[in-house]
A and B are shown apart, each in its own frame.
Chain A
């Protein structure tokens, strides 16, 4: 396996790119830098402009304003067929009149390689996506997962600087999707090509990416590592999109360089790190805590930080149980997910319990 490139060289630079359709802005002043060899995801709900941005990188669409460069070269005026990028389309776009081999060799034909060299590269690409031996099949004779692999091989065989993937796994069933996530990540590490993945599935983005850009309504809300996006979302929208989050109203007592002191009803006075993107909006803020960061305290166990409440609902999910706990003073009950090793699935509704938390797990968000 080749070494991953260590240099933090920028591969794609997107500067203040806007794409308008009349008065509507499908993409609004987006700026981001994707590094060489990075697995980068564009994550957001349907219609937030992910495909629009990806198509502009590929050259199928042009920014209304702003600039895009790939590998230090401005892409302005360069048509799709002369860009160092290749795309895996959402519908896979397998040529129906060609067989698997011919599909994969499609882009190589123009390079006028020696016949044996072309054959070798096609074989290699087919092997990379575990399709060896299926070269003579027609596209119509393939399953969804196989078509997806053909699309991948057809793009990889071109050895692009950047591989663009538009929701490549969304048409597959859950099991296959999870398997492909692992394979795709492994493949990316093996070939070392920069991958830009578009997805609306937060788990997919978290599981595969080096970094993620979360988008809403044509704007980029946050760019960070999966862990930071999950643990330190910049606002409620991002927090919500990446899975369940309890929101607690808070008052800002003190704000200085790196920290915030907040007053809450349920959690008392809390001192937390001030998020980088925190922009104060009046005296109020929101404090978030993920359901799995709240722990049930059994019997007489105590913790340095705890809140007391009453179980009002219980939902069983196999390996975990979801408890809804009412806390005096909080306008909304807290969601708690607890693994079932200690019997959380047997806590009767109505029980008074105490929950432990780590102040580190509390994240402040501008209101």
Chain B
């Protein structure tokens, strides 16, 4: 790169300079990412800017008043209903991330360490449920958890309960169960990848130095697969905070999440600025939590040494 720029004294000055510019790493880098960059600009950045702009405006029945105001944010952050919804969304998504990671880790571990020659087959099998639509999978949980559902009839058949329980469906627990199932594969993959990268001789070295299977797992395998665990947690947490379909279908009144409120503002309530303010607030909180998660886990990793 630099050799090419230095080795062109024979060229005319302007041409040399233009060449140098074209060959400079930043310019080449921007050129290379420009298609992706444009795509991201049009489909991601612009809509977000529109949303942010709306969040500072006011809805006047059918028209929008474009004078700057923070009123929407005041409502979003202080109105008890929105605050509760935000808390519940965070609680649900953090619980779901925790459960998914805890459930996904043993599966990923088994495939990586005991999958033998059939690792790719196992991974393939895990993706099979994801061939059906997300909606279908959510609906099938309705069938399992519902009043006349599989679980209720099963429990009644066994004589555990006398009449169908209504505690299974239409609450946050149902949302958590459904989301945990829905995101399992997305958590398994990053954990699997980071476990694959753990050098098996390191585990042997731990054994050689006196560790039994559990200790060598806690002292070597787990810390070395932490990056996979962090990404799995984030991959699940970030989208579930804003999930809208699952609470709508299985959440009932107790399982409503912030995304449902946002949808209502953009839809029936027709208050785009408030919907926008709620969106931006959620986005910021998720970003903060994601950042904090990474930092905390990194620090924990350093302490665990």
Contact = CB atoms under 8 A, between A and B. Distances in A.
Interface of B is mostly: helix
B211 interface: yes
A107 B209 contact: yes
A219 interface: no
B208 A110 contact: no
A89 B201 contact: yes
A107 B208 CA distance: 8
Given A97-B301, A97-B305, A81 B201 contact: no
A80 B214 CA distance: 14
A85 to B, nearest CB: 8
Interface residues of A, number: 26
A103 to B, nearest CB: 9
Interface string B210-244: 11100110011001100000000000000000000
A89 B205 contact: yes
A95 B220 contact: yes
Contacts of B220: 95
B205 A95 contact: yes
B224 A96 contact: yes
Interface residues of B, number: 20
Contacts of A111: 210
Given A91-B199, A95-B220, A106 B206 contact: yes
A298 interface: no
A99 B305 CA distance: 9
Interface string B239-269: 0000000000000000000000000000000
Nearest to A164: B208
A86 B215 contact: no
Contact of B210 (A58, A97, A99, A107): A107
Interface string B85-121: 0000000000000000000000000000000000000
B204 interface: yes
B207 interface: yes
Nearest to A107: B209
Contacts of A80: 204, 207-208
A91 B219 CA distance: 19
Contacts of B305: 97-99, 102
A91 B199 CA distance: 10
A187 interface: no
Given A106-B209, A110-B211, 10 more contacts: A60-B207, A60-B208, A81-B207, A81-B208, A85-B208, A87-B204, A89-B204, A98-B305, A107-B210, A158-B210
Interface of A: 58-60, 79-82, 85-87, 89, 91, 93, 95-99, 102, 106-107, 110-111, 154-155, 158
25 contacts: A59-B207, A60-B204, A60-B207, A79-B207, A81-B207, A81-B209, A81-B210, A81-B211, A85-B208, A86-B209, A87-B208, A91-B201, A93-B201, A93-B202, A96-B224, A97-B224, A97-B305, A98-B305, A99-B305, A107-B209, A107-B210, A110-B210, A110-B211, A155-B208, A158-B210
